Structure 1
Amino acid sequence: MNELPLYFDYAATTPVDERVIQVMVECLGFSGNFGNPASSTHAFGQRARQTVEQARQQVASLVGASPEQIVWTSGATESNNLALKGVAQARGISGGHVITSQIEHKAVLDTARQLQEAGVAVTYLVPNAEGLITAAMVSEVLREDTFLVSLMLVNNELGTLNDIAAIGQRVREHGALFHVDAAQGAGKVTIDLARLPVDLMSFSAHKVYGPKGIGALYVGPRAQQKLHAQIHGGGHEGGLRSGTLATHQIAGMGTAFALASEHLEEEVARIHQLRQRLLEQLADVPGLRLNGSPTERIPHTLSLTFVEGEFDAAALGRSLAYSATSACNSASQAPSHVLLALGHDARLAGRTIRLSLGRFTSEQDIDRAASAIKASLSAPAPFWAVARP
């Protein structure tokens, strides 16, 4: 059996923490906590309900929210859809104006295009050279009929960190609602929704060492009566998201968020040191470009473009599990819309890799990754790429 490559794709998904797995297993099987938490009045259902509410508290605690403000979904994609479509439909979907950016996740961009087809005007902000959206940019395009602004906390390809406090303050002064996709930020940066001027925020468990298929949407007080459900059939989750709750997945997400809260500072500090170690070892690579702000960013995600020399992506792929683009683009193999928005052409986009570090990345992994990257740059070009007279 071939040896697996080193894992440097934590931004795409994280392995489930063993402590999370143990909690999830305890919710399965007849001897476990398997009851229906939504409707059962007997002891099995009540036990499951207690588990669900404990997890809701754990998620809320990490982000400074109240438990009743957390709505379970299947992941950040559904949360984004519920936020954008839900607000638009609650006000009457025809007309009005929404602001987002060109470098959002496809779950926001594709949903925004759906709103456009239904008659909503949408402005797609162009990021600055550092891959950031600023409050000034938002202010310039706010209109009287703007009812929603949707921008991400951390960019999934670049790792850049938007100043959502400043943006949110401007949006609140205007009177619109502010939605933030925080799938890449939860567990990596401090989030305090008790203080932040944010009305809706999306989360996903599988970015935080929890299971796939479970996420949440924070619904703040200003958005409570301005959100239309997208899934109907029983009125669960305060009428915002019907369906039998998956106790094992919810318990897993709660535990994952609790662990993230417990270890956030030390984990971020450790990953910052690993990132610096990697960049120092790559400092002598000619034409290496770090995409995005060098300071306003999380340490976990690096977007690197090799401007000069030969780059053998196939050789690197045998050593490292990395992304040539974000997971949301990988199905089409199209150039990254994020890099194109930053001004890269298709050639440079094709010479860009995303490396993302995580909980199980070691110093040895960093050293081996640096060696593999340098080897992929010094490898001879394949015969079909050599120009012939």
Structure 2
Amino acid sequence: MAVRTVTPSLRPMNEAEYAKYMPELRLSIGGKAKPIVKPFWDAARFIPRAFGPFVNMEHILRLGLIISNNPDIDLDDNGPPICDAELQQIEKCELRDAFTTYNKLLTLCPTLKQLLPHAQMNAEDFKSVGEFLDQANRNARTDDISRLRDNVMKYIYEVKGIQIPDSGLDKVKRGWNCEATARMLCPRNLRDEFDADPKKFCQEVRNDRRLVDHDEWPTLAYSETEYDPDNLDWGLLKSPFLVKCWKATFKGPSSVNAEAGPTSGRKGGRKTLSKAYGITTVNEYSIMYVTILARFSLSGVASWVTNDHDGPYTGSEFFKNLLFLFEDEEWRKDTLAWWNTSALAKSSASKPLEAAQTQLPAPDLLPLRVSRSNAQRAAANLESSVGTQT
């Protein structure tokens, strides 16, 4: 039987506490978080940075509660069929993933564990909790995108013959409307063709005569020089551009040109994420999160939509492809070691991304399950060689 891990026991709110808390939570949706719910809000804002920007909160909570409340459900592939009508429609591997994520959410947000015993009994309350979490997710992602959008142009690789525009370039004028941003979005295996005639390449993409989707590794994911067309994984994600984006996101834009290492936060202003959440190590989820946001910041898409669509490109599918990479443990260790040295001047990547706070204990960020094998991924790489509003 598959192991069913449940987070440690935590006392639920009593009825009086819950009755006082929920009105304040509802008032916080779409506005400033009320003092009583501020710790929950701060913890929930870390969710996209810990799990990626594509977590469907209501879906995860609903499935997690069904499984938690039915201990006889066997999630093992070889176990008996599941009788629950809703769960029957979902593969057991996906249910295991959802239940793992559910338990990690409860660890990340202890208040959620205190609320759910009551909220699950009231459809409106349950909906409000989901909306609160979604709002916190959106706000965090929007803040991070805004930070990158205003700085990402500074981090683009310089190349002769292509002018890098000012950081204030309108979002819709980026992407394939700008040669500098287009070059970063261009699949790395096609970059020589791009460099030969950037205007023609961009025009072909804009006119849909050339499709660039999520199954191709973009230039932004590599350094300017390290690339092996016969081994696309080599040097992949060891990108100085992405390191700068990571530092701007988690340590603040002023850290990009500073020496690697811990920062104390902005003087006279809001703390950086690394300071606020006690982040001392780079892990794969923070890398993937920043990669998705960096790619979006370079694109000509005006605003974030569900699943991050940009023509044939879908961010949620690109995120899955990034997850596939980290299935290779040797590649994972090497890549994280490089990142910790490059972003934080650390020699080891053995610890998870930490988020040590009273409300926010360090999350154990296990990778979500992915279904495609390394062999399938290699085949896909070989072939490639030929969504809610903010």
TM range (shorter): under 0.3
Q: RCO higher in 1 or 2 (8 Å CA, sep ≥ 6)? A: 1
TM-score relative to the length of structure 2? 0.27
TM-score (norm 1): 0.27
The structure with more helix, counted as a fraction of residues? 2
